[in-house]
Amino acid sequence: MIRKMLEEGLESDEVIGKNDTLSSSSALQQFSEQFAFVRKYYNIKVNEGPKRQCRILSDNLSLNFDDDLIYKFENGKYDSAISSLLSFTNSEYLKTVRSKECNANLLHWAAYHGWIDIIDMLINDHGFDLVFTNTAGHTCVHYAVFGRKLETLKVLVTKHHCDPICKDSKGRTPLFISIARGYFDIIKYYMTSLGYDSCNGKPLGIVAARHGYLHALKYLIKECNFNASKSTCSENNTALDYAARHGHFKTVMYLVIECKCDPNEGCMKPLHHASQKGHIDIV
């Protein structure tokens, strides 16, 4: 069709002026080249119906929007993220936009970056599921802790009633993660405001000693009055016993030298724990 228009335009000197003919021919030629590029880029065939062509264009735009939006959320581009969010009102579609690697959704990333206004928008306006998990079983509460966003954690727990001790696929709670990473402000919030002084049934100090999280153990002893010499009720083991059993040499040194924990207390001494597990450095 375009080729025929070009031919007719070149043969119409008697109808319009020569300059106008050349100008029209040039414009048509440029349009032809641009149309050919668009057709090739979107794989559109000229003889396809308009519905088919529109669907292909829509699919490509949808895929581009997915990638662009999740990129903004993942990389903390707040202004661009909220601008895109405000321009798109299809709630069911927004819920399907997720990270390709870990299946985290927009609410996860909003919690990670501490975007409280966007969190409220996603929950209140778009009905995002508060217990939706990524491939590792992490909820938005886990992500708030990963990003060390205390105020966001407070909003999720108090305003939106999220479970503060939800577990991931390996049984780790947000509190456990805060101990592992030494996020003292979050640990304090759990203890003072939420009333959690244990994790999976064990005192927080025992958990820190068990996993060798020395920075968290020091905080719990100095700031939260954890008694490192006191044994747990169920297994009758102290923090020193757990540290020795699991081979945490620096933690053992700290408990013996600085905290003056007695290595001879208990029904099974720390020396026996270390020997049994083959921790020669501790023995």
Q: Write the DSSP string, 181-244.
A: HT-HHHHHHHHHTS---EETTEEHHHHHHHHT-HHHHHHHHHHS---TTPPPTTT---HHHHHH
- In single-letter form, the type of residue at position 104 comes to A
**DSSP 8-class letter at 105:** B
24 pLDDT tier (thresholds 50, 70, 90): low
pLDDT of residue 267: 59
pLDDT value of residue 250 = 95
Q: What does the pLDDT look like over 132-178, one tens digit per residue?
A: 999 999 999 999 999 999 999 999 999 999 999 999 999 999 999 99
| Predicted confidence (pLDDT) at residue 274 exceeds the cutoff of 90 | no
Per-residue model confidence as pLDDT tens digits over 144-154: 999 999 999 99
Reported as a pLDDT band with limits 50, 70 and 90, residue 57 is very low
CATH class as words, domain 213-283? mainly alpha
Rounded to whole angstroms, how far apart are CA atoms 71 and 69?
Answer: 5
pLDDT at 26 over 60: yes
Q: What six digits make up the tokens of 134?
A: 């990524």
Tens digit of each residue's pLDDT (9 = 90 or more) over 66-121: 789 999 999 999 999 999 999 888 999 999 999 999 999 999 999 999 999 999 99
Report how far residue 108's alpha carbon sits from residue 244's, in angstroms, rounded to the nearest whole number: 37
Structure tokens at 27: 């414009």
- Tokens representing 171? 């049984």
What is the distance between the alpha carbons of residues 20 and 23, in angstroms, rounded to a whole number? 5
Query: Burial code of 112-122, b = ≥16 C-beta within 10 A, e = fewer?
Result: bbbbbebbebb
The pLDDT value given to residue 16: 39
